[in-house]
Amino acid sequence: MAANNLRHALFCAVVTLIISIPILGLNLEAEGINIILTGAKTSTYIAIVLAAIAVFVFQAYRDSIMGLLGKLPNLNPLADKEPMEQSKRAKLESWILTGIIVLALFWPFVVSRGSVDLATLVLIYVMLALGLNVVVGLAGLLDLGYVAFYAVGAYTFALLSQYTGISFWMALPIGALLAGLTGMTLGFPVLRLRGDYLAIVTLGFGEIIRILLNNWTTLTGGPNGIGGIPEPTLFGMEFGRRVKEEGNTSFHETFGIAYSGEHKVIFLYLIALVLAVITALIIRRFMRMPVGRAWEALREDEIAARSLGLSRTAVKLSAFTIGAFFAGFAGTVFASKQGFISPESFVFLESAIILAIVVLGGMGSQLGVILAAIAVTILPELAREFSEYRMLIFGAAMVLMMVWRPQGLLPLRRIHITLNKQE
């Protein structure tokens, strides 16, 4: 047994070196028109070797270390406490969500423009995560191509504004409906798939959409993308220094105030906030309806759900359609915020980040997903000085989270009934 542990520990240490040295120990630097491969600092190599030694020691004495950790006292003061009643928990979550909304309303007026712009991005990810939470968290359908619906909403607004001059407010429901229709279209081929097979198909679908947008240059502009996407207006009032559309008026001239670029940023933020609240409320209502219970029944046991008379087709299609619908919402807001979109904005990494938000927050939990979206979006921005190691830190945090709390930050709780055997 000891020999097996040593071989396993040595293997893990070697794998650590093989993975870490190319990523952390080698750099590509531009020198004129040439790319030169250079090595990292000596301290980096020392850190890699120490990490490999730590992996070796842990794997070699894993049983002893885990045994000692198991003997430590529980540091969680709430570990032995009975779970909160369902009614009290729902009321507490409602109060917390209300507090977050109230705080969000005052947020843009007390912080800088950059913070407001970042908060708008957070709200976009909140909408995306809430939509994916329906598919993954509630219905239990692993979707790795969710970014495709995000792209459909964004490109719908961009193309409609470019070719027909349609406004943001008219494109918003159209983009959401087209994204929902795309989700329903995807739902039909995958009705009989589950688990890994479903994940592979949805991943392929997301890549198909991205490649289509990248190669259909006559319509989408290909890699060059689409620019000049108009900003939303407020009852015909534009937020630019000068009016672009004939018949519109400028916001600052209408109210007789000095022009400020912050007005547009705050307005976009408030639009994203309202749409995020609408998304949360609608999905929360769906969760309390029979369709929400059907999603959870399908997630827990598909065979049992079918035996109760639930239509697998209807339940899966409804989950894909509703999740994609709100992704279209988010895509339209994203296109308006950026003013420019390209296929590179909708790569697989975006789907992975949104899925990570759902898993970290607790699948099925709205409050957990919202808090996770805030954390996952803001923390990388705060760690820009560690840009080289940002994804490494993010991956390590994911691993630690799955070890420490695999159910997520705030997992969804339902009433459990325990049947006692009568003697």
Q: Is the dihedral of CA 91, 97, 98, 100 positive or negative?
A: positive
CB 338 within 8 A of CB 162: no
Q: How many CB atoms lie within 10 A of CB 76?
A: 8
In terms of CATH architecture, what is 87-404?
A: Orthogonal Bundle (1.10)
CB 304 within 8 A of CB 155: no
CB 229 within 8 A of CB 341: yes
pLDDT in tens, 30-60: 676 777 777 777 888 888 888 888 888 888 8
Q: Residues 221-243: what's their mean pLDDT?
A: 77
Which segment of 102-106, 147-151, 157-161, 168-172 scores lowest on mean pLDDT?
Answer: 102-106
Please report which confidence band the pLDDT of residue 247 belongs to, taking 50, 70 and 90 as the band edges: low
Nearest-angstrom CA–CA distance, 335 and 359: 26
What is the structure's pLDDT at 75? 47
Q: b or e along 159-178 (b: 16 or more beta carbons within 10 Å of the residue's beta carbon)?
A: bbbbeeebbbeebbebbbbb
Nearest-angstrom CA–CA distance, 37 and 28: 5
Beta strand 237-238 with 249-250: parallel, antiparallel or unpaired? parallel
CB 24 within 8 A of CB 74: no
What is the structure's pLDDT at 2? 57
- With CA atoms as reference, report the closest residue to 188 among 335, 361, 320: 320
Q: Say what the pTM is.
A: 0.77
Please report which confidence band the pLDDT of residue 124 belongs to, taking 50, 70 and 90 as the band edges: very high
Q: Residues 147-171: what's their mean pLDDT?
A: 88
Helix, strand or coil, per DSSP, at residue 192: coil
Q: Residues 62-69: what's their mean pLDDT?
A: 73
Burial tier of 399 (Cβ tally within 10 Å: 0-12, 13-18, 19+): exposed
Please report which confidence band the pLDDT of residue 304 belongs to, taking 50, 70 and 90 as the band edges: confident
Q: How many CB atoms lie within 10 A of CB 121?
A: 19
Backbone angles phi, psi at 340, to 5 degrees: -155, 135
Q: Residues 386-407: what's their mean pLDDT?
A: 67
Nearest-angstrom CA–CA distance, 242 and 253: 10
Helix, strand or coil, per DSSP, at residue 254: helix
Please report which confidence band the pLDDT of residue 28 belongs to, taking 50, 70 and 90 as the band edges: low
Helix, strand or coil, per DSSP, at residue 31: strand
Please report which confidence band the pLDDT of residue 79 belongs to, taking 50, 70 and 90 as the band edges: very low
Tokens of 255: 């109210």
DSSP 240: S
Nearest-angstrom CA–CA distance, 191 and 180: 16
Nearest-angstrom CA–CA distance, 196 and 388: 32
CB 113 within 8 A of CB 269: no
Nearest-angstrom CA–CA distance, 145 and 350: 9
What is the structure's pLDDT at 104? 80
What is the structure's pLDDT at 354? 87
Q: How many CB atoms lie within 10 A of CB 83?
A: 9
Q: What is the DSSP string of 94-145?
A: HHHHHHHHHHHHHGGGTS-HHHHHHHHHHHHHHHHHHHHIIIIIIT----S-
Tokens of 366: 């709205």
What is the structure's pLDDT at 178? 92
